């Protein structure tokens, strides 16, 4: 397996397939690069080089105790892109990975990034504050932490079988393989990293990152996203970005990259080629 070592000695696992213009995929919490299988296969078959890493503490990367914050996440991505000398790259981030993309592109992307795509992404900020009165209250995220600490395995199962893919909606048909794969990815990671990561994805303010991004950026979100409500994320991010395109998908859930991969992949490809 392929690893790079960051400046603080953390080993980051990555997958690197194909050749051509690089597309870098940034996964959501608490998953791994495997969550991008449908997109990586699609793009490598269309002639692109595809790269996906496991965030520190997630998947096959080192289960270190510290550094589970957006600054370290972005620096780790920079270490990967520098080690592989990726240029003219398109960075695609889902959920927490969208925050990671925003911070990476803003801080390290000059002369390396061609475009960015945020899918069901957490920016500008999820938490309710005086500056963000429509955000989610801290009690929501405290609930995540309490459930993780009490019984992480059951918590992950409940998230995957319920709101993440919209399987809790009337008429939805749960896909057991998808649920089990989500659970597998989550349980392969570190409980400490996932616990700390809740603060990273919920409390980080990406407003200045978004405002400083100058590359074309596509913002994609389902309007039935029960994890990251689109009105306080996608709609606000599109206003903050200098060169944004916005696509809102009626009825699509947070995990739409899996449940509606046929639709999302074609839209991703069209933007990458545009």
Of residues 135, 149, 80, the one with CA closest to residue 109? 80
Q: Which of 68, 225, 233, 237 is catalytic?
A: 225
The CATH number of the domain where 175 resides is what?
3.40.50.1820
221 and 233 Cβ atoms separated by less than 8 Å = yes
Quote the domain boundaries for residue 114.
Answer: 2-273
Decide if 170 is catalytic. Answer: no
| 3-state helix/strand/coil string of 134-203 | CCECHHHHHHHHHHHHHHHHHHHHHHHHCCCCCCCCCCCCCCHHHHHHHHHHHHHCCHHHHHHHHHHHHH
| pLDDT tens, residue order, the chain (274 aa) | 799 999 999 999 999 999 999 999 999 999 999 999 999 999 999 999 999 999 999 999 999 999 999 999 999 999 999 999 999 999 999 999 999 999 999 999 999 999 999 999 999 999 999 999 999 999 999 999 999 999 999 999 999 999 999 999 999 999 999 999 999 999 999 999 999 999 999 999 999 999 999 999 999 999 999 999 999 999 999 999 999 999 999 999 999 999 999 999 999 999 999 9
Decide if 95 is catalytic. Answer: yes
Q: How many domains does the chain have?
A: 1
| pLDDT score at 1 | 76
Q: Which of 61, 95, 233, 237 is catalytic?
A: 95
Q: Give the global pTM.
A: 0.97
């Amino acid at each position: 397996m392929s690893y790079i070592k960051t400046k603080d000695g953390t080993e980051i696992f990555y997958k690197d397939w194909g050749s051509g213009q690089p597309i870098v995929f940034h996964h959501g919490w608490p998953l791994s690069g495997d969550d991008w299988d449908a997109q990586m296969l699609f793009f490598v078959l269309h002639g692109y080089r595809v790269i996906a890493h496991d965030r520190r503490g997630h998947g096959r990367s080192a289960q270190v105790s510290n550094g589970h914050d957006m600054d370290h996440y972005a620096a780790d991505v920079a270490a990967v892109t520098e080690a592989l000398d990726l240029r003219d790259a398109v960075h695609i981030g889902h959920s927490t990975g969208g925050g990671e993309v925003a911070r990476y592109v803003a801080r390290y992307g000059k002369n390396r990034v061609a475009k960015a795509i945020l899918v069901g992404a957490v920016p500008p900020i999820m938490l309710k504050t005086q500056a963000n009165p429509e955000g989610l209250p801290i009690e929501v995220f405290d609930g995540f932490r309490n459930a993780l600490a009490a019984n992480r395995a059951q918590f992950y199962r409940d998230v995957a079988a319920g709101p993440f893919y919209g399987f809790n909606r009337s008429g939805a048909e749960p896909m057991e393989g998808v649920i089990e794969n989500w659970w597998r990815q989550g349980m392969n990671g570190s409980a400490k990293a996932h616990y700390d990561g809740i603060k990273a994805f919920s409390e980080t303010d990406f407003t200045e990152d978004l405002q400083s991004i100058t590359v074309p950026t596509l913002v994609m979100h389902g309007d039935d996203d029960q994890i990251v409500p689109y009105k306080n994320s996608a709609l606000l991010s599109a206003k903050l970005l200098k060169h944004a395109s916005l696509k809102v998908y009626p009825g699509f859930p947070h995990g739409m990259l899996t449940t509606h991969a046929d639709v999302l992949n074609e839209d991703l490809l069209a933007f990458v080629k545009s």
